[in-house]
Chains A and B, each alone.
Chain A
Amino acid sequence: MPRTASDGSSDKIDKMVKADEAYKNRILVVDDNEDSATSLAAMFEMLDHEARAVFDGVSAVETAASFRPDVVLLDIGLPKMSGLAAARKIREQSWGKAIFLIAVTGWGDEEHRRQSAEAGFDLHLVKPVDPTALGNVLARRQRKLRLDE
């Protein structure tokens, strides 16, 4: 079962933190609402991450193959290919196994969480997603990478 957004809320990081140069994330944001995707990508860019935004499932898989992101924020209800199918496609690739896959969706039932876990997501966030919560996720990931070294 993917973890939920509340897992790290005790960290109480008040602001989205800027990326360390050594732990700058390449982030792919996928949402069929273009404003959501581009706003989030722009915000990550302002935090010194490298971000791209695409708006359907097929583009998500294609862009992941060329962009090789560290993190993918993937909506579930996408045109052309669902977010679940896109996640499975990405996980099938040798380059896709280590990507941190985050489902960002309006569906929050246990069944939906189980479906996203089965598709290979590491984390399931339910909209509306607080940008600060996303910042916490990335900050935790940076800390984990640092500890793993």
Chain B
Amino acid sequence: MKATSVCAEAAQYALLCRISPALRHQLVGQLQPIGLTAALADRQLGSDRLNLASARNSISKIQLQAREAIGSAIATLAWLTGEEPASVALKAGVDMCITLVRSDCEMRGITISSQIAEMDVAVSQRALRIVLTAVLIGMVDMLPHLHRIELRFAISGKTVEIHFDLHFTDATQEHSAVTERRPLRWDDVEALADHEGVEVFRTGKPPMVICRFDVVAKIRSEHRKNSLAYNP
């Protein structure tokens, strides 16, 4: 990893501020069921018509939910700590980034779809997370008439290109702007990409962003679902 430039550091902080509500959303989404199921179990145990089987079922659920929440919390916190596997299968990594930003985008009237299929290539998890997420958020912040983002890919030798096709509504329909946090700018995206060793560029016709990532590993097909196992 390169020494962090002031521009890259500023862009990292801006990105972190922009994704923090989404990280909170992911964490709470896993914790809320525990609270609700615990409240239900408490009510079941205190009921005049005590049904021990129902209460036991609720408590079993709480145990399962707690285990899942721990795993999910650790995965979510990896966005902050960087404690993550060095590489990730392309589709899994892209889906992870889309999942983080999708709900917020939908609230602004922007849909994100991906045509990226399962394949035997892995890229740097850190680079993918940072650059792909920055491009998605940056496009939303910079383009008020953006309506849909569609992701495609193309493999060329030892690199994989991710294409972000940008679709717009007419000029009268703007999606709601980010007002509570600093919007991401294109120079932020470029600084982050440069720092992570990813090529990124925009085209006007058709409107598109292209990111070029190095393929860092081929995944054994039997391990494709478990993106932690690689055949370097």
Contacts and interface: CB of A to CB of B under 8 A. Distances in A.
B24 A77 contact: no
B179 A36 contact: no
Nearest to B68: A35
A1 to B, nearest CB: 14
B107 A128 contact: no
B61 interface: yes
Q: Which of B32, B43, B106, B108 has most chain A Cβ within 10 Å?
A: B32
Contact of A40 (B24, B31, B36, B178): B36
A42 B40 CA distance: 7
A109 B104 CA distance: 11
Q: Assign chain A's interface to a size class.
A: 20 to 34
Interface string A2-30: 00000000000000000000000000000
A82 B61 CA distance: 27
B28 A77 contact: no
B180 interface: yes
Nearest to A115: B107
Interface string A79-117: 000101000000000000000000001111111101100
Q: Assign chain B's interface to a size class.
A: 20 to 34
Interface string B156-198: 0000000000000000000010111000000000000000000
Interface string B36-79: 11011001100100000000001001000100000000000000
Interface in B93-110: 102-104, 106-108
Given A46-B47, A128-B28, A36 B103 contact: no
Contacts of A43: 36, 39-40, 43
Contacts of A84: 106-107
Contacts of B26: 106
Contact of B28 (A35, A127, A130): A127
Contact of B179 (A77, A111, A131): A111
A46 B43 contact: yes
Contacts of B103: 76-77, 82, 106-107
A35 B36 contact: yes
Given A82-B106, A111-B176, A115-B176, A106 B40 contact: no
A35 B63 CA distance: 12
Contacts of A115: 107-108, 176
Given A84-B106, A114-B176, A36 B25 contact: no
Q: Which of B21, B26, B44 has most chain A Cβ within 10 Å?
A: B21
A24 to B, nearest CB: 17
A33 B107 contact: no
B33 interface: yes
A129 interface: yes
B61 to A, nearest CB: 6
Contacts of A109: 21, 180
B56 to A, nearest CB: 14
Interface of B: 21, 24-26, 28-29, 31-33, 35-37, 39-40, 43-44, 47, 58, 61, 65, 102-104, 106-108, 176, 178-180
